[in-house]
Structure 1
Amino acid sequence: MRTAVLAGLAMATALGTAACGGSADGSGTDGDGGVATTITIAQVQDQTGAVAYAGVGAKEGAELAVEEINEQGFLGDGVTIDMEVFDTAGEIERASSEMNKAMGNKDVMAILGPTQSQQAATVAPLVGRQKVPTVFTQAGAEGIVVNDYTFRATPPMESYYEPVLDWLEAEGATSVSVLYNATFPTFALLGKDSVPEWAEERGMEVVQSLPVEMTTQDFAGQAQQIASKGADALVMLLIAPQSVTALGQLQDAGYDGQIVATSVQAAGNISEAGDDANDLVYPVPFSVAFTDESSVAFTKAFEAKFDKSPNPYNADGYDAMWWIARAIKASGDSSREGIQEGLQKVAAEGYEGAMGAVTFDGNDARVPGQLVRWMDGKETLVN
């Protein structure tokens, strides 16, 4: 009798463990439901290279989110998220290699995907084939959210950039020059298509459109051309290091029109330009100037942890990781299949995060964004 009872208890324990989704080492689930004791999320983003600020920023935001999720016991007593970091180093081939490593690790249940659009577009089909839920931050071009396992926590820039043209119109601008990085897919789309279309709809003349490459470091020639045309405004679509140089050379060339830029220049990325950056206006999905309750709470928590102000890339990583945590809670399943299902459930309802109220178009995030002005090392709301 005693042997039979012990055998029954052993079977019940085994079934209970399976129901909770725990593997032998507590690190995975079998897809039949349940939350593991330890859930591994990989970050596969640039930690080095020309736009490492996006990946490093997302990493910091994600680290804060993991700390909060674990300390709150959000997913249950004793349940923790671990984050494993892979560096894509600004290279498309390396992004594919690192993504394959992460997806090949059966302990990795979800991934924060590459921030650069070219990297993200390359790996997105792999994500669908391997069925590993991947949340991209930044990577605003088309061809990223292409299957049921690809998600984006950062709203594409074109989805909140049009108000820049509304503001220029309200300010009385009738002519616009455009300077854009044609290698960067998001900027290429805005510079070639969206901005000229929006300007025309508002009766503004695009007097010139000047493409440059990712490797361009000297803008003296373009600055002279822009100054000679004397348009009321310049739409400057460049990565952060390029913007610093371009602003100085525009000043030297004597251009005195209103310059509008992008969230790439946000939260101090443009500070090296000094006074040349004063009065720069750009739209952002997040700023420390935001007054939403959830944005303010994030800013305070980030400053307490890192002793510095957060930027949009920090907000991206924070919201992406919390989206994954909410997904696990929504589905009650920390397996890859469970997280994929949960991400879609959360997207259907939206959430309040660092960026304020986040809604979705399918698996793709949307926020209204706001215009900010950079002046003397600080962002303030334009409206």
Structure 2
Amino acid sequence: MSAISARRGVTALVLTTAVLAVAACGSSAGRTDGGGIDSEIKLVGVRDLTGPVSYAGEGAARGSALAVAEVNGQGFLGEGVTLVLEEVDSAGEIERASSEVTKAMSDPEVMAILGPVQGQQSAAVAPVVERGRLPTVFTQSASEGVVIGEYTFRATAPMSTFYGLAAEFLAEEGLTDVAVLYNATYPTLAELAESQFPQMAEENGLTIATSIPVQSTTQDFTSQAQELAAEGPDAVLLLLLSSQSVTAMTQLRQAGYDGQFVGNTNNAGGNAAEAGEHSVGMVYPVDFSAAQDDEQAKAFTAAYQKEYGELPKAYAAEGYDAVWWIARAIKASGDSSREGIRDGLAQVAAEGFTGAMGEISFEGNDMRVPGVLVRWDGTKEVIEAR
């Protein structure tokens, strides 16, 4: 589906959600102090619906919208109580994300924020929502400086917490000579490449022969591909954005490299398909895959596919579980105010819950999931048997 079609799909479901909310009746919305559950509870998503990582923002928005529809349809929060979700586009810009969050914070009817998905945006926004005492549940944004206090929460397990699956796979396969090609602009990928994966490599007996940084603006990998093909490592880790990975894999194969590609969550959900035959056999750890066969994941995948006509990506599962975390929080605290949601999110985090991503636990306000290692077979993801 094109980016334009995807955005239309998100907009359509958001409008549907808003229409459902019109039927709500009872107490007024907009409290910021305690006092029960309002009939209408407004959430705002501030995410990249356009720009280089719009696939993450759109996916999260779709997953969130599906969860809102389920919460309302099930009467999960009580008869006549509805969640209302409004999405705004941060468009890959830190300043715009900050502006939209500030705008939402000044609206007394907004009880919580979802997003953004980029670490740079989220790190800029986090101090703002902490000062404004507005509970915010981020997805993606796995870098430092995001979960910083009582009002900041993350519904994506940092990639580093399950990326060890890749290091274990390489060790088990005897692919011990590894090269790393990574995006040094994107904090999550840079931290993984520069500090976290080297430690994983050491723990698993791997050797990082070469580590090459590039920028988010890098779209031609000819020189890097020639260098890596000449060195011939057993495996190349591509810690890049999705579009960059497609180009890098293609140019590496064209340069004669025939080793193992190991990707990251940016390659998930079919993004690797853009590289055609060059991506076949690529493995990558993810927090969610539509190939998972546990009951909750299968139910989410079926519902998402019915609504949107395609399989969900990890971003959608994260957005879905984020909304269900908020819904559980409201129910747990019995209070839909900002303070009530904040207290409820912490309460649910202390207990954990089962979501689309499996058995979810937390370290403080930060989500943890088991993760799975998948292989792209050219048409779909399959769970890598280990």
Q: What TM-score, normalized to structure 1?
A: 0.93
Aligned position for 1:93: 95
Equivalent pairs counted in the alignment come to 362
Match of 2:378 among 369, 376, 379: 376
Aligned position for 1:340: 342
How far is the alpha carbon of 1:291 from its aligned partner?
A: 1.4
Which structure 1 residue ranges, 4+ long, deviate > 3 Å from structure 2? 22-25
Match of 2:42 among 33, 40, 43: 40
> What secondary structure, in the 3-state scheme, does the structure 1 residue paired with 2:145 have?
coil
Match of 1:365 among 367, 380, 385: 367
Aligned position for 2:21: none
Compute the RMSD of aligned alpha carbons: 1.3
> What secondary structure, in the 3-state scheme, does the structure 2 residue paired with 1:102 have?
helix
C-alpha separation between the residues in 2 aligned to 1:199 and 1:111?
Answer: 37
Residue 235 (1) aligns with residue 234 (2): no
* Larger displacement relative to structure 2 (57-66 or 23-32): 23-32
Q: Tell me the amino acid that sits aligned with residue 253 of structure 2.
A: Q
What are the within-5 Å matches in structure 2 for residues 196-207 of structure 1?
196-207=198-209
Deviations for 1:121-149, whole angstroms, at most 9, x for unmatched residues?
A: 01101111000000000000011000100
Q: Tell me the amino acid that sits aligned with residue 276 of structure 2.
A: G
> What secondary structure, in the 3-state scheme, does the structure 2 residue paired with 1:248 have?
helix
Structure 1 contact 137–152 (Cα < 8 Å) conserved: yes
Aligned position for 1:315: 317
C-alpha separation between the residues in 2 aligned to 1:342 and 1:195?
Answer: 34
How far is the alpha carbon of 1:30 from its aligned partner?
A: 4.8
Larger Rg computed on CA atoms: 1
Deviations for 1:214-237, whole angstroms, at most 9, x for unmatched residues?
A: 000000111111111111111110
C-alpha separation between the residues in 1 aligned to 2:33 and 2:358?
Answer: 32
Structure 1 contact 23–36 (Cα < 8 Å) conserved: no
Aligned position for 1:110: 112
Deviations for 1:253-312, whole angstroms, at most 9, x for unmatched residues?
A: 111111100011001112111111100000010001111111111001111111111000
> What secondary structure, in the 3-state scheme, does the structure 1 residue paired with 2:163 have?
helix
C-alpha separation between the residues in 2 aligned to 1:163 and 1:30?
Answer: 42
> What secondary structure, in the 3-state scheme, does the structure 1 residue paired with 2:83 have?
strand
Percent of aligned pairs with the same residue?
Answer: 54
How far is the alpha carbon of 1:33 from its aligned partner?
A: 2.1
How far is the alpha carbon of 1:23 from its aligned partner?
A: 11
Match of 1:275 among 263, 277, 296: 277
C-alpha separation between the residues in 1 aligned to 2:313 and 2:115?
Answer: 19
C-alpha separation between the residues in 2 aligned to 1:236 and 1:313?
Answer: 19
C-alpha separation between the residues in 1 aligned to 2:202 and 2:238?
Answer: 18
Structure 1 contact 159–366 (Cα < 8 Å) conserved: yes
Structure 1 contact 133–339 (Cα < 8 Å) conserved: yes
Q: Tell me the amino acid that sits aligned with residue 275 of structure 2.
A: A
How far is the alpha carbon of 1:25 from its aligned partner?
A: 7.0
Against the structure 1 CA distance between its residues 132 and 30, is the aligned structure 2 distance closer, same or farther, given a 3 Å change threshold? closer
Structure 2 contact 26–39 (Cα < 8 Å) conserved: no
Gap regions ≥5 residues in structure 2 = 1-23
C-alpha separation between the residues in 1 aligned to 2:338 and 2:176?
Answer: 52
What are the within-5 Å matches in structure 2 for residues 56-71 of structure 1?
56-71=58-73
Structure 1 contact 41–82 (Cα < 8 Å) conserved: yes
Structure 2 contact 25–80 (Cα < 8 Å) conserved: no
Q: Tell me the amino acid that sits aligned with residue 342 of structure 2.
A: Q
Against the structure 1 CA distance between its residues 29 and 159, is the aligned structure 2 distance closer, same or farther, given a 3 Å change threshold? same
How far is the alpha carbon of 1:49 from its aligned partner?
A: 0.5
C-alpha separation between the residues in 2 aligned to 1:326 and 1:100?
Answer: 25
C-alpha separation between the residues in 2 aligned to 1:379 and 1:24?
Answer: 46
Aligned position for 2:218: 216
C-alpha separation between the residues in 2 aligned to 1:202 and 1:357?
Answer: 26
Aligned position for 2:194: 192
How far is the alpha carbon of 1:247 from its aligned partner?
A: 0.8
